[in-house]
Structure 1
């Protein structure tokens, strides 16, 4: 199947079901543009104290190993937490963290982080020396993101994650300013089949033809975006 068609169909499926596989029923009935209540946000803030060690204050991680969560879509975050809890997304770190949390706890955490200010990771465009040294990598990453690699069968990321990698409501998360190390690890996980909690395994299809350099380039480029 054409990968762009796969991406499009996957987006429709994700929009209709809220996810893929056994975990999808848990988010049925919730719309991707659902907004959390102030009570949820307050409850989530209290729960987030145990998350700050990895994800930082207000969900802005100082470690490249852990993603920034601040400002991500509420339902997207909720679905990821559900997937960690029910095993649809594997993580030896996150699984025990969410094991004892109730469904409402997960919603509250997602609510809190979704309402926090997005703070991008330090990127290549903030360091002139690094930018010059890795100009080729940035150029390749930009090309992959915006145009894909036709000869290699790599789909353009912009088709799903939008202009400037700002994401599209719920279906596809914002990637701009996310830690490059974390992004690269996730792309590799999708490529190897270690992560597959997206609809129709879209990301596995996208990542499979990507080389190590392709992965590093697009991750580095995404981190540089604001």
Structure 2
């Protein structure tokens, strides 16, 4: 199946403005039946389908790289890395942008223009990429962050910060993005609501927040 005309037009127009390139087409074949998550699970159990969808996701990601970086490692500290995220978690975020439960107009428009295959492909592709952790600038601050993380954060995000189908990978994430996200949860700001995150960040001091960000952003 080729990239949908609407997405092809949207990508081509923006890419022409940004870098003068166009998104290539791909043919992943007939997707498995069921919900997006069920389709993804079928794909992940078949190495041939994984390769096919990853190739498609890589082609679609030519546009995503303008913000999220080559291979999902952002070059902007306030834009999240997508590399290494759990594919089911990524697919959930894609769906939330598409249905408006997670709001960011630019992302909403882009994802709504994607076909089901393209959404699956992007999730498969980015999940297979390796994240590049942030450098350690203050070892003492990182150590303090580890203490806090090991008391609170690991229960959901895992001891190594790699997340799960339900919780984001935080290991190696961009510092400014982490900082703003934690502040939004702590202050119940914005449309991205998560009662568990709000409860776990409400008592964080600014010093705690800085330490946790320093630690998890340096995790591999």
Q: Could you say whether these structures have the same fold, taking a TM-score greater than 0.5 normalized by the shorter chain as the test? A: yes
Match of 2:183 among 172, 188, 213: 188
Tell me how far apart the structure 2 counterparts of residues 208 and 30 of structure 1 sit (CA, whole Å). 37
Deviation at 1:54, TM superposition (A): 0.9
Task: Report the CA distance shift for 1:43/1:108 in structure 2 as closer, same or farther (over 3 A).
Answer: same
Moved more, 187-196 or 216-225: 187-196
Cα deviation code 1:78-123 (max 9, x no counterpart)? 111111121111224422322322233211111111122x132322
Deviation at 1:197, TM superposition (A): 5.4
Tell me how far apart the structure 1 counterparts of residues 41 and 214 of structure 2 sit (CA, whole Å). 28
* Aligned 8 A contact 1:189 1:195 in 2: no
Task: Report the CA distance shift for 1:55/1:213 in structure 2 as closer, same or farther (over 3 A).
Answer: same
Tell me the TM-score normalized by structure 2: 0.73
Aligned residue pairs, count: 182
Deviation at 1:37, TM superposition (A): 2.5
RCO higher in structure (CA 8 A, sep ≥6): 1
Tell me how far apart the structure 1 counterparts of residues 50 and 37 of structure 2 sit (CA, whole Å). 19
Structure 2 residues without counterparts, runs of 5 or longer: 1-33
Task: Report the CA distance shift for 1:217/1:197 in structure 2 as closer, same or farther (over 3 A).
Answer: same
RMSD: 2.5
Secondary structure of the residue aligned to 2:170 is coil
Deviation at 1:171, TM superposition (A): 2.3
Counterpart in the other structure of 1:8: none
Counterpart in the other structure of 1:107: 120
Task: Report the CA distance shift for 1:94/1:212 in structure 2 as closer, same or farther (over 3 A).
Answer: farther
Alignment pair present for 1:138 and 2:136: no
Structure 1 residues without counterparts, runs of 5 or longer: 1-24, 125-129, 148-155
* Aligned 8 A contact 2:78 2:176 in 1: yes
* Aligned 8 A contact 2:85 2:162 in 1: no
Cα deviation code 1:142-188 (max 9, x no counterpart)? 121012xxxxxxxx101111212132x31223211111111111112
Alignment pair present for 1:40 and 2:53: yes
Tell me the TM-score normalized by structure 1: 0.71
Tell me how far apart the structure 2 counterparts of residues 204 and 92 of structure 1 sit (CA, whole Å). 24
